[in-house]
Chain A
Amino acid sequence: MPSNAPRLEVERLAKRFGGLVAVRNLAFSIRSGEILGLIGPNGSGKSTVMKLIMGIEKPDAGAVRLDGVDVAGWPTHRIARKGVGIVFQHSRPLHRQTVVENIKLALLPDSLFRLAAEPQVEERARAIAERVGLGAVLDRRPPTLPFADLRRLEMAKAMARDPAVVLVDEPFAGLTQAEVAAFSELLDGFRRDGRAVLLVDHNVKSVARLADRVLAMYLGERIAEGTADEVMRDETVRRVYIGGAIQTHARPEATNTAGEALLDLRDVDVFYGKAQALQNVSLRVQPGEFVSVVGLNGAGKTTLFNAISGLVPYAGEIRWRGAKLAGRSPAAIARGGIVQCPETRELFGDMSVRENLDLGGQHLSAVARDRQLAWLIDLFPILRERAGQKARTLSGGEQQMLAIARALMMQPKLLILDEPSLGLAPVILEELSKALTQLRETTDITVLLGEQNVTFALPHADRVYLLEHARIIWEGGPARFAAERGAGYL
């Protein structure tokens, strides 16, 4: 039962990285035996909040109180000893020690002179291992364990310190449905132990069942707080995630689905270590088509695009105009006509807008380059004004336009746009949307668009794929998507 005094209290928390405001004036509290879900799309600042609480980053302002003591700015190890534990998403356990030794590590005191562990430590380590479900693999070494067990090990280590407050980063990323259930049970156990739990995740859905309350963040600020249901129904949250009321474009579904596909993926699997990021993904893009892959953050969109661009190894087959792409370097794939404009934009920050564009056009002849440049400046007039400015001084929207323009300088046959709407204000989105419409109506370019923001994606889609938990679970036209999947998406 939650007691009344909050275990963890965060007040007026703020953090800037250079010019970027990561967290602004954030406040919340968690009581014993309570689970708070902290959600927000990529770049909303939720991970920063976690780091600020743990002392991995130092807050610029505000307080982080543990049982009334302000620990803001303390070194991490002192905050940990004060009773905060963290379950990292990516773990690097000791490879040469067994599971039980890894847990014992977490039970050791921070002392130079206690050279041998106390006898009861072994016993406690075993008990914790049993509890998280590692009982059968006590003497195995981490490199031989499946992904879910590595996550269990991280849980066990956090539990070993008996923390009053537990921060969990993306508790269910990379897990199967059955494993999700087991982990939910474990997290529920934290609640029963009377710990205050903060679950950090991209989307409401995954934490809805567990969290007593959910706090949604966007661009560093709180946009909603309440029960999971309330937050899911909240207008602002829906606008941030989905983008408002869903509209589809008037253009009829593409008719040329019969001919040879421009891009053809068959049964593509991608693993990051032991975590499966793509499972059995098959996808076709016809010439001239605008295809949208929609899915929440973490569903596997970026991995999909990186596999196509040759940036991550995969199993299965990816064909481009009938020929296999496997074995070609990422640069050769890009020169071959598949140009990716990544989520992270990847601009040359210290170079001017013009220099960025010129690098994109270096493969073209001088005449073609000038023509392309003139056309792009027509498409994105703001780039003309900013031509001499350094890329990193541009606003987020301008950077996105530059990134797209730079990719278009290469005269791609297929343009891959990964989350172009990420972190952009509605006005900018509209501008971007217009540019995409213009592309679609005036050129024969083919576009593969990855988006979380469905409202942004659908008007530009001839066909839609829905990606969830590394798999494609739905495929069809945009109008059908709105009717069939619109409500259950978030």
Chain B
Amino acid sequence: MRQREHENLPLLALQILVDGFAISALYGLGAVGFTLIFGVSGVLNLAHGGIMTVAALVGWWVAAEHGAGPYGSAALGVAAAVVASFVTYYVSIRPIQRSRAIPAEEEEIFILTSTLLWGVMLQVGLDYVFTNNPVTMLPLLPGVVQVAGVRTPKNEVLIAIVCWAIIGVLSLLVNRTRIGKQLLAASINPRALTLLGFELSHIYLVVWAIYGFLAGVAGVLLATFLGVSADTSGALTASAFTIVILGGLGSVPGSLVAAYVVGYAETITAYLIAPTLRPIPALVLLIIVLYVRPQGLLGRR
């Protein structure tokens, strides 16, 4: 966060507006993948932060150890996240969905527990391989630019653009393409999709690939913006989780709205009250929403 040296209120407001936008976009991107998986296959993936961290650490590592450029390392980081996403599916989700010993009504808790365990394994594994030091990837675009009179790193502008571009492409993919329609249909009525001759297992693979990509991009971008270490993976899961619940499980627009609510609530708290209180408003908001409207802001029952 930049220093709190503003005497001038309008400028401060602008600063919050600009600064909050990029972080919110990033939150949105991370949460959209999480929502997508839940919507299509009903899985709440508690290893989410671990997958983002894989992208960030692998990206940083190929840059630092093998001299890859900012774009190459970002691409490799994203690729690593896609791989991690598939492994997550095959290690901690598919065996439970196929198990006969686990009753259907307990599947949810088993998947939550298994992805949680897998998340711990990822975190500790990353900790072991990459140590626990926070790493920062090189910004994709160095330099600073004036946005509405606020000095903003170009990288932050790029992050906002990339996030929204990807969200836009994703929305086109879902609403305009054949595979997208299948994903949408699977989230509405998986049984009907089977009756129409589509293999759900293939659709799940596609979803996990898309999810890995989204989580990977979010992880890499986050690493160019804030520091990421193995230990942050839990907090990343928690924040995606918070946003997704706040927005309504399975609702992509809800996640985006919630990402901005949380992003700005945090930024405002950090600027006006104290940076240490940053995570509080989101949690308080979440508790209120869960009590008053458990289906989330835009969720349906």
A–B contact at 8 Å CB threshold (below): yes
Contacts from A to B (Cβ < 8 Å): 309, 311, 329-332, 334-335, 339-340, 342, 346-351, 355, 358-360, 362-363, 406-407, 410
Q: Is B191 an interface residue (CB 8 A)?
A: yes
Q: Is B205 an interface residue (CB 8 A)?
A: no
Whether the pair B188, A331 counts as a contact (CB closer than 8 A) is: no
Whether the pair A351, B184 counts as a contact (CB closer than 8 A) is: yes
Whether the pair B196, A360 counts as a contact (CB closer than 8 A) is: yes
The residues of B that contact A342 with a CB separation of less than 8 Å are 195
Whether the pair B191, A346 counts as a contact (CB closer than 8 A) is: yes
> In the complex where A348-B185, A358-B181 touch, is A363 in contact with B197 (Cβ < 8 A)?
yes
Of chain B, the residue at the smallest CB distance from A361 is: B196
Whether the pair B188, A351 counts as a contact (CB closer than 8 A) is: yes
* SS of B interface (majority): helix
Whether the pair A348, B197 counts as a contact (CB closer than 8 A) is: no
- Of B184, B189, B192, B196, chain A has the most CB atoms within 10 Å of the CB of B196
Whether the pair B189, A348 counts as a contact (CB closer than 8 A) is: yes
The residues of A that contact B193 with a CB separation of less than 8 Å are 359
Whether the pair B195, A339 counts as a contact (CB closer than 8 A) is: yes
Whether the pair A331, B200 counts as a contact (CB closer than 8 A) is: yes
Whether the pair A340, B195 counts as a contact (CB closer than 8 A) is: yes
> Can you list 27 A-B pairs with a CB-CB distance of less than 8 A?
A309-B195, A329-B199, A330-B195, A331-B198, A331-B199, A332-B199, A334-B195, A334-B197, A339-B195, A339-B197, A346-B191, A346-B192, A346-B195, A348-B185, A348-B189, A348-B192, A349-B188, A351-B185, A351-B188, A358-B181, A359-B181, A359-B182, A359-B185, A359-B193, A362-B178, A362-B196, A362-B198
Contact partner of B188 among A329, A348, A363, CB < 8 A?
A348
The residues of A that contact B196 with a CB separation of less than 8 Å are 331, 334, 339, 359-360, 362, 406, 410
Contacts from B to A (Cβ < 8 Å): 178, 181-182, 184-185, 188-189, 191-200
The residues of A that contact B194 with a CB separation of less than 8 Å are 311, 329-331, 334
Q: Looking at the assembled complex, report how far the CB atom of A41 sits from the nearest CB atom of chain B, in whole angstroms.
A: 22
Of chain A, the residue at the smallest CB distance from B184 is: A351
Separation of A311 and B190 alpha carbons in the complex (Å): 13
The residues of A that contact B197 with a CB separation of less than 8 Å are 331-332, 334-335, 339, 363, 410
Of chain B, the residue at the smallest CB distance from A349 is: B188
What are the 3 A-B residue pairs with the smallest beta carbon separation, nearest first?
A346-B192, A334-B197, A335-B197
Whether the pair A347, B189 counts as a contact (CB closer than 8 A) is: yes
Of chain B, the residue at the smallest CB distance from A333 is: B197
Of chain A, the residue at the smallest CB distance from B188 is: A348
Separation of A407 and B195 alpha carbons in the complex (Å): 9
Separation of A330 and B194 alpha carbons in the complex (Å): 6
Separation of A362 and B185 alpha carbons in the complex (Å): 12
The residues of A that contact B182 with a CB separation of less than 8 Å are 359, 362
The residues of B that contact A309 with a CB separation of less than 8 Å are 195
Whether the pair A350, B181 counts as a contact (CB closer than 8 A) is: no
Q: Looking at the assembled complex, report how far the CB atom of A487 sits from the nearest CB atom of chain B, in whole angstroms.
A: 36
Whether the pair B195, A355 counts as a contact (CB closer than 8 A) is: no
Separation of A406 and B194 alpha carbons in the complex (Å): 13
Contact partner of B192 among A335, A347, A350, A363, CB < 8 A?
A347
